[in-house]
Structure 1
């Protein structure tokens, strides 16, 4: 992988804020949030390098005391290109109010950038930090053409930082940074569309994994290479993310592991995350699931999409690299650590097709929805793409295109996803037709098929059906 790829939209957002500060002569602030290893720090460092203006970049350390953090901040300020008079910067300050006052005294009259990375850790260390930052911004920092960038991996805390009841409300725009998309992954690694999608599923689109991926190396070759190293990125990055979020084996950790292992409904999760005393009680499980879904965003909840409200909801791990680690990678890593890389690779290969077939579905639905919103499908009123199932999970319909979710007024198409090395055949076509007919509101819906290996020659889906392969899936992200 090249040293930096993609992120054109995000770099433009940052450039726009800096240009605004330069034109107005007053400051602009942007809070950037995203999961660990998604590339927040790398993006901002790249922007600072390209911007060609003075900047200071400070990264907080988890567990440091406020005194230690302030000293490190002043040291970084002293060594930065932003400092006008480094010799005047002291080694210590009494508090963040004084530290920000020192920063303001060093700001040049020309545009500049101030980066505070891992802001949630600073808030954890010092309950007065948020107020000190707000006070300094209002009275000092915003009076100069400064772009203030606030970064953090704790998504909930970063959202709370600019909430209406918090000191920094109304002072910063917000940017949520997601992983690299399949098109960016393919461009970075010089892979075919089908291999780019596999690489995205394996890496989660995380630059930390992709940086160690040699250009044009097929996904299974990369996995084979990684299985020779117990500290390889496909193991170490999701493992470190798991430990950072859940350092102890509490209910949250057990629930996440149950879902990563394939349990999707409330009932099966309760059983898998339980103990010898029985299932996890609903009064305990429901708040945990809500926290992991709404606050942590480490889980996603899918609900059936049709003209009738449906149940049950199905949970999944949002990050595919962590999902792969919980389902396969952790067991493979244990084997690699015992010197059995050959067994680890066989384990991975044995579980790969089944895991991939399920894991690719949310990615494809998102791709189809992007295409629909871009007017690239023959159903112009489609604004939501999901799936449908009944309580028996018979059938499960992979694709449903509708005008809204979770309960639609109109269903415009149903369809099937087949992500195997064999083409979509007559048996698959019959199953897709039967399943689509059971979706409430889909009486006159069209048909869409997404197949990794195309369509069998003997299958006639009709002139109104839409057929996608990996090429179209990746193109939707371009």
Structure 2
């Protein structure tokens, strides 16, 4: 069983719902491997009034029989109830029970009327009960269609919606060996992300090269086919989506660049990118000073580090790695790994900003760019301070040219504080390998310039 880590906010929300005197209907969704089933099971520890049914891909009658078999443990009387979903679910919730329908999309596949049945049950029978009904699913597209969109029978009826995402860096640390230094932790998180299933299934006691070779490069590896498996469960015609993700992983991040790389008309590319956004696979970033809906300078990035690694290094290269054998990691991956992890390092630095500047209250944190100008970390505060940062995840110390470049680019940022007045600027340098003597001297002399190493960053998220 996977280790259960963090999720304190989600656990609290679930347990508050269980304690309510009113009926509760909860939807929990998110892509596979994030620990939705584990979350529900953990929330029900020490409860004897819960029915947790994990649906299978089978016929409606078999699903009903399986459900009754599971429910008859805590609720023996259910065996005398009419064998249909409305009667069975109504009986359990009227008893004040907690009913969990895991893999809910499988129930819909077998019986399209299930959402309408639950709607009628909720509207007509459950309003004066204190029971809880929880619908859990990994197929984001089907869960949205069945529960969250305006034309769904269940739209607007949920008392709680939990959109489960990856663990953050701080929570992911619990999976890493105590021997890991900050650099090791950043590399591991920058490749495997915060998916519990990934982190719990790989042997991080080995050196990183061995872990990558065994789990990803080898065709027998634990995670070798993972992205393909996840995508094929969500997409009926995945080829174009695979091509788009590979293009983004290769550095083509604007709509035009992606369209040209993939060979799709630029006007059609949004159909595919919007689908990938809904599936939480990519996100469209815009400069921090612009509104997302109106900006025309959007860039796409792959959200899951493992998917980004797979599409950059693994997809389409399997035969090459088999030929190289044990030399594949050193020959192909290792030279490019710092550059690959650097984008995730920027995300980590953004996340660390509130902890590194505890006296500031940040309104927005992100990136900024315009034409040839770009700033890795930008934070706007309530007091009219703009914190800007440069990130260097290289073996070489950060030199003075990086500071000079940061100051130059910052001059192009246009931001007006809510309070009006002048902007106070703070400069932050985030570095893997320290800084040159001239940079250190500048930090010592200036009150608006700070230098942060990996210890500072990892201890502040």
TM-score by length of 2: 0.85
**CA, structure 1 residues 173+290, in 2 after alignment: closer, same or farther (shift >3 Å)?**
same
Question: Which of 384, 388, 395 is residue 373 of structure 2 equivalent to?
Answer: 395
**CA, structure 1 residues 75+141, in 2 after alignment: closer, same or farther (shift >3 Å)?**
farther
Q: Secondary structure at the match of 1:283?
A: coil
- Would the aligned equivalents of 1:83 and 1:107 in 2 still touch at CA under 8 Å? no
Of the structure 1 ranges 315-324 and 217-226, higher mean CA displacement relative to structure 2 is found in 217-226
**CA, structure 1 residues 87+127, in 2 after alignment: closer, same or farther (shift >3 Å)?**
closer
Say whether residues 1:447 and 2:424 are aligned partners.
no
Say whether residues 1:428 and 2:423 are aligned partners.
no
Give the match for residue 16 of structure 1.
Answer: 16
Give the match for residue 237 of structure 1.
Answer: 226
1:268-307 map, 5 Å: 268-274=257-263, 280-293=264-277, 295-306=278-289
**CA, structure 1 residues 149+331, in 2 after alignment: closer, same or farther (shift >3 Å)?**
same
- Would the aligned equivalents of 1:246 and 1:253 in 2 still touch at CA under 8 Å? no
Question: Which of 176, 186, 203 is residue 189 of structure 1 equivalent to?
Answer: 176
Give the match for residue 277 of structure 1.
Answer: none
Q: Secondary structure at the match of 1:234?
A: coil
> How far does residue 32 in structure 1 lie from its aligned partner after superposition?
1.0
Q: Secondary structure at the match of 1:35?
A: coil
1:79-90 map, 5 Å: 79-80=70-71, 81-85=73-77, 87-88=79-80
- State the aligned residue count: 444
Of the structure 1 ranges 180-189 and 218-227, higher mean CA displacement relative to structure 2 is found in 218-227
Q: Give the Cα–Cα distance (whole angstroms) in 1 for the partners of residues 213 and 192 of structure 2.
A: 14
Give the match for residue 420 of structure 2.
Answer: none
1:61-72 map, 5 Å: 61=56, 64=58, 68-72=59-63
Q: Give the Cα–Cα distance (whole angstroms) in 1 for the partners of residues 197 and 265 of structure 2.
A: 38
Q: Give the Cα–Cα distance (whole angstroms) in 1 for the partners of residues 319 and 279 of structure 2.
A: 27
- Would the aligned equivalents of 1:416 and 1:449 in 2 still touch at CA under 8 Å? yes
1:418-477 C-alpha deviation (Å, 9 max, x unpaired): 122333222322222222223234975221222223333431232222333333433444
**CA, structure 1 residues 345+88, in 2 after alignment: closer, same or farther (shift >3 Å)?**
farther
> What stretches of structure 2 of length at least 5 have no aligned partner?
417-422
Give the match for residue 464 of structure 1.
Answer: 448
> What stretches of structure 1 of length at least 5 have no aligned partner?
275-279
Give the match for residue 3 of structure 2.
Answer: 3
- Would the aligned equivalents of 1:388 and 1:400 in 2 still touch at CA under 8 Å? yes
Give the match for residue 212 of structure 1.
Answer: 201
> How far does residue 338 in structure 1 lie from its aligned partner after superposition?
5.6
TM-score by length of 1: 0.82
Say whether residues 1:133 and 2:118 are aligned partners.
yes
**CA, structure 1 residues 61+336, in 2 after alignment: closer, same or farther (shift >3 Å)?**
farther
Q: Give the Cα–Cα distance (whole angstroms) in 2 for the partners of residues 167 and 178 of structure 1.
A: 25
Question: Which of 315, 318, 327 is residue 330 of structure 1 equivalent to?
Answer: 315
RMSD, aligned CA: 3.1
Give the match for residue 301 of structure 2.
Answer: 316
**CA, structure 1 residues 151+45, in 2 after alignment: closer, same or farther (shift >3 Å)?**
same
